[in-house]
Amino acid sequence: MKKMLALVLSLMLVLGVAAGASAVTLNLSEVHVDGYPTTLADLEFARLVEERTEGRVSIEVYSNGSLYGEETGAIEAMQVGDLGFARVSASPVASYVPALNAIQMPYLYDSSEHMWAALDDPEIGQKMLDDIQASGSGLIGLCYYDSGCRSFYLTKEVHTPADMAGLKIRMQNNTMMVEMVELLGGVGVTGIGPNDIYQAIMTGVIDGAENNWPTYESKGDYQAATYYILDQHTRVPEILLASELALEDAGVSAEDIEIIKQCAKETQEYEKEQWRLKEVASEEIVRANGNTIIELTAEEMELFREAVQPLYETYAADYTDVIEAIRAVGETLE
Ligand code: BDP
């Protein structure tokens, strides 16, 4: 009888330990295709988290917008705890955390090095990541990824803002970005997810959109809008986000949240390397397709730059300290 009791007790203990250490699986939403730099980084993040938490936290990556075709949907799902993670552009996140506009103002950075020097700065980019959570958004900013420069791609040849008059252009869900295109003479259209842009151009709902070389190429949009106008209006970093509520509901410990943050940071350099390779490869594909790539003259570029300056008054007036700090970082690089 005693033996029996001991057996039952030890069985309960084993089961109890197993239950206490039970693994949780959380989903990660990604709009890009498999093999895209951010998707590769998501997978690397998932691999590291699984390894470092010794299986306590597993992350399932859903690419190509298969969970949420629009990033605002993913962000809102994270706010209510329905989704664990998402890799999104900083642009739609600014609709929930307006301070984020300060790191994606048009013509703010002189180069990729400039942007990274600002994002890596503890007082600028890292503070901004912390502010995402501190703002009460319910989101945890984990790290940034590279996304190059965004330029317009259209069904029509454009060299100046005047040429853009009346063109309907798909923009990300961010009112500043919509106003930007309006200051340039176009009409901003939102609510179209990255997988639906091709069709919207083909059916004449829009005359084009704007993005970096890899998205223009990998979504196939380069086959619908063949003029790529290198006005390079913004550098918008990508952000890997976690949901405070989803982590809490899943019972992820504070120690494991620290591990998750650390793993995310470690994937940043990996994504940047993948980005460098993909940017070149995508440009080659688009050029080989015979698309018209429009390099603007210095004067034409200046027209774009000047037209969007009012946004600094409307959207960055509360964050002049951040803008000045970013500019100061740029000066140290010159
Ligand atoms: C790409 C970003 C992606 C955005 C997309 C867009 O990587 O996160 O969803 O732009 O324009 O560059 O919606």
* CA–centroid distance, residue 329 to ligand 1 (Å): 26
pLDDT of 334 reads: 81
What is the position in ligand 1's atom list of the atom closest to the CA of 88?
Answer: 8
* CA–centroid distance, residue 89 to ligand 1 (Å): 6
Q: Which residue has the tokens 């965004």?
A: 150
Residue 98, Cβ density class (10 Å: 0-12 exposed, 13-18 middle, ≥19 buried)? middle
Pocket probe mutation, ligand 1, options 87, 172, 180, 271, max atoms within 8 Å of Cβ = 172
In this structure, the chain runs to a length of 334
Pocket probe mutation, ligand 1, options 28, 29, 30, 31, max atoms within 8 Å of Cβ = 31
Residue 152, Cβ density class (10 Å: 0-12 exposed, 13-18 middle, ≥19 buried)? buried
For the stretch 191-228, pLDDT in tens is 999 999 999 999 999 999 999 999 999 999 999 999 99
Q: What percentage of residues in the chain have a pLDDT greater than 70?
A: 93
pLDDT of 7 reads: 54
Q: Which residue has the tokens 């250490």?
A: 21
pLDDT of 18 reads: 45
Question: What residue's CA is closest to ligand 1, atom 11?
Answer: 172
* CA–centroid distance, residue 194 to ligand 1 (Å): 7
* CA–centroid distance, residue 236 to ligand 1 (Å): 9
For the stretch 105-135, pLDDT in tens is 999 999 999 999 999 999 999 999 999 999 9
Pocket probe mutation, ligand 1, options 89, 197, 271, max atoms within 8 Å of Cβ = 89
CA distance 249 to 82: 10
CA distance 261 to 152: 34
Query: CA geometry: angle at 294 spanning 288 and 297, to 5°?
Result: 145
Question: Nearest CA to 330 among 164, 112, 180?
Answer: 112
Pocket probe mutation, ligand 1, options 29, 66, 85, 147, max atoms within 8 Å of Cβ = 147
- The two tokens of residue 8 are 């039952």
Residue 12 pLDDT level (bands cut at 50, 70, 90): very low
Residue 13 pLDDT level (bands cut at 50, 70, 90): very low
pLDDT of 147 reads: 98
Residue 322: alpha-carbon gap to chain centroid:
20
For the stretch 224-267, pLDDT in tens is 999 999 999 999 999 999 999 999 999 999 999 999 999 999 99
Question: Nearest CA to 235 among 147, 118, 145?
Answer: 147
The residue-averaged pLDDT of 168-180 equals 98
Whether the per-residue pLDDT at 57 is higher than 60: the answer is yes
The residues lining ligand 1, judged by C-beta closer than 6 Å to any ligand atom, are 31, 71, 88-89, 147, 172, 194, 211-212, 215, 238
pLDDT of 3 reads: 59
Whether the per-residue pLDDT at 11 is higher than 60: the answer is no
What is the position in ligand 1's atom list of the atom closest to the CA of 150?
Answer: 12
Residue 173: alpha-carbon gap to chain centroid:
12
Q: Indicate the DSSP class of residue 219.
A: T
Model confidence, pTM: 0.93
What is the phi/psi pair of residue 88, to 5°? -135, 170
Query: CA geometry: angle at 103 spanning 126 and 261, to 5°?
Result: 30
